[in-house]
Structure 1
């Protein structure tokens, strides 16, 4: 029995309709995150990925690009980034801010920020044969990871837009209304790829955060260790400053 045959009548069409309607949201995201226009090349959106400082030096010269995460992340295997307009939203995961260009013009998007699309995904989830194992056994993490990947593979979803599900304790870096992205890379067989992403180009270190974070026990928050200024480093010109640092080949230092 194929995966499509497992779906209740009309559900496949509802998922496809959600993907079609999500194109508008992706288009708006692109417009909000465009790079500085440079003569002779297309103007593309910019993504930001914060990595541990031990990897910072790798992104100061020619590199392999962004790595595809395969842990039990929110939407499964993929590259998790934010747009340049929210440059420090995931700075709690590392002190090295890597910026890269990407071209999503032909991507299929699923906007998981809307309640309607969340309900559609949950309905799809409940239709899967392993749904009970995913909820009722000690192997929940294993099965949910498989199901998240399967959903994206079945509908060839290139990117999922979703709200943050982990925050810095003071709320200085991550806002609940920010947008995070889970980006898919594909094998020739239509399955999610591993290792280095081919979706992002010209990855380079563009920002270094002074603050360092620790995971809080038992909750999905991370607390800053320094808080030297006892205030958020975010300001109205921060996104532009990171964008210009990337364009100019410099590194912006973001104070604690």
Structure 2
């Protein structure tokens, strides 16, 4: 058994997580034997998903990359940046390269591909839910607190909540609140919380105000400010202070 497999199994035992819970929606445990025997190299995207589901801190474990894996990672980042900047044509051009490079039989790679295909197109909440369920098959059936989620899966759920809120406000807000509580109560490092929580707060700020949940909103803002202070990440500091002062 190699060091990586030992480390993952140690973290599973530490948190009381079964391999079936951890590998739900993934092909990871189909490869463990081959990885342990040195027959294959674990794919970074899958290992990242596994470690993030275990809520291993950002620098808790490093995986060295072959050039092919590194290039694929950079391609994903470029596509994601294009989508964020609304450069959808460029994103789709890069996605064609990704489609011909990545092994889309692996659900982690397929999930990113399907998500990117939705970018800039007329999409529905149901389509985002289907993308999430590729690697989180119990999403929508089990509470988030019973699920193990990677950063990208959290991101997709936030996207789905936004789409859902546009067509079903009550259900969308319920999912937002559930995701916020998942993050607040998770063992994820403060980096994750400092990235996701402020975005979620900004999305539902007016809804919390209309429901007169001022104390809850201020409590969330204070938590985010503390997380961002710890990480020296002040992207949303002005927004959090504005909400507090308003």
The one of the two structures with greater contact order (alpha-carbon pairs below 8 A, sep at least 6) is: 1
Normalising by the residue count of structure 2, what TM-score does the alignment of the two structures yield?
Answer: 0.28
Q: Which has the higher strand share?
A: 1
Normalising by the residue count of structure 1, what TM-score does the alignment of the two structures yield?
Answer: 0.27
Q: Which has the higher helix share?
A: 2
